[in-house]
Amino acid sequence: MLLFYPAHPQKQDYIWVFGDSAGINFNNLVSPAPFTSVLQSAGDENYSSISDKNGNLLFYLTGMEGPASSFTFNHSKVFNSNFQLIVNGDSIPSDRSLTQGTLILPSLSDTNQYYLFYLSRNLSATGYPPGLYYAVIDMSSNGGLGEIISKNNLIRSFSNISEKLSAIRHGNGRDWWILMHDYGNNAFYEYLLTPYGIDSIPAQNIGSSYINSSGIQGQMVFSKKGDKLCCAGTGQTGQDGILDIFDYNRCTGILSNWINLNDSLFPFYGCSFSSNGNVLYASTLFSPGRRLYQYDLTASNIVGSKILLFIGHVNYQIGGHQIGPDDKIYIASEYNVQPDSIFSVHNMNLTVINSPDVYGSGCNISPYSFSLGGRRTKLDLPNMVNYNLSKDEGSPCDTIVSLHSLISVQNGITVYPNPASDELNIDYFINKESNSLFELQDIAGKKIFSEILNSSGHHVTLKTDKWEAGTYFYSIYNKNERIKNDKLIILK
């Protein structure tokens, strides 16, 4: 058996680069220090950055600003640790006005390489159709300053997209789940990054539908433990919104137990979980006010636990949230009147929640208290993931075993062997009042096979010789509810 989990805390999220040439260095957790990055005005949103395991900045991305007083959408650029354009770092078709347009994950097959995942939304501005793309950065090039060796690789195209892109480590402690949300429906699209590449997972339809502009903007964040997900949404008109929370299974990638927290159609934008995952923070962007709320996720009535913590300045939008390596929550604020040329206490400082695990006033919120050293924030902070999350101890997937002996167990169902060459066995001890259904899809999401799991039995053997060698995805349903899904590899 091969075990994998981070042996020591990694500092890959210790350097933040964002806003108008702003940055924070968390290498001294007691006293994080602001610094000035590249001297240019970046876009309103769409920032990401990553450091090495020792907390040294490697590279970062900003959504670039268009002409003054113009809302023209432009490409983003990637810069190295010297605040210079990384080799081949231009023409990333992910524009300046995407809440979570990009994220960075380490390669699982080469320690010198990183994946940059990004959303493209505006065909007329970027020349690329709406969709999810990736680039590969090799940090062994150019004396450690890096180079983009491959970019603008399309994973999936969409007719339109929301501005939500996030990732969480798989329960096995090695792979990564990558999650995004479609627009015009309630579909989550998910991808699995492994040492062997990027696999597509069948879409899940759950939660609020992103229609009538609602849900386009706004954050989608995982709790630090990866067992919960929050989606905040605001429409282009600012008159509709979404605030959904879900349970999340790091073994299967399945979302469940949807709760709608938006009791007043406020247009939510920012959201964050406390370190212990028991408290949720969410903020509104437009009228009826820039407000920050708190929810007790352990309460029997979560909606009823809502507390108003703070009302922001009328001319400053409360923007994105980000939990820091010090477990404090930092919140951006942007001047909302054009032309955007104002420097003030409201955008030259971040709001900080100092004790976010505490429900009520004890959370110790400090509005506009963290100085950016003369620089200013825009609407968002870097889109960070929890690089230190390890395997899900005690779960069915907490151990990475030899590929040829993997047995998948979930909800009383065992599927084996995986990979399979001649036959696939399914042991099931589930609801005996109704039949269950086994469905198999190819990597493009096309259903190629289905089989009824008769309620009178508890075992079935399927011959796999009629399926081509490759990667597939299966789901098992009972009473129209998907109770298991996973990847299946067929060998010949």
Number of H helices, E strands in the chain: 1, 34
Asked if CATH classification 2.60.40.3080 holds for the domain at 403-490, the reply, yes or no, is: yes
pLDDT digits (tens, 9 = 90+) for 14-24: 999 999 999 99
Phi, psi of 405 (to 5 degrees): -135, 20
Q: CA dihedral in degrees (359, 360, 362, 364; nearest 10)?
A: 100
> How do residues 366-411 score in pLDDT, each as one tens digit?
999 999 999 999 999 999 999 999 998 887 777 664 333 333 444 5
Answer yes or no: are the C-beta atoms of 375 and 356 closer than 8 Å.
Answer: no
Q: Judge whether 453 and 475 are in contact, CB under 8 Å.
A: no
Q: What is the pTM of this model?
A: 0.81
| Positive or negative torsion for Cα 148, 150, 153, 155 | negative
Amino acid 3: pLDDT: 41
pLDDT digits (tens, 9 = 90+) for 310-327: 999 888 899 999 999 999
Structure confidence at residue 222 (pLDDT) = 98
Q: How many CB atoms lie within 10 A of CB 491?
A: 13
Domain ranges within the chain, ordered by starting residue: 15-371, 403-490
Q: Which long-range contacts (CB under 8 A, 24 or more apart) does 448-455 make?
A: 448/472, 453/426, 453/428, 455/431
d(CA 66, CA 74): 6
Q: What is the pLDDT of residues 74-88, one digit of tens each?
A: 678 899 999 999 999
**Both tokens assigned to 206:** 């759950």
Report which secondary-structure segment, H or E, holds 280. strand 279-284
Q: Say which CATH topology domain 15-371 has.
A: Methylamine Dehydrogenase; Chain H (2.130.10)
Tell me, what amino acid is at 235? G
Burial of 465 (0-12, 13-18, 19+ CB in 10 A): exposed
pLDDT digits (tens, 9 = 90+) for 466-491: 888 888 889 888 877 778 888 888 88
Ranges under pLDDT 50 in the chain: 1-7, 66-72, 401-410
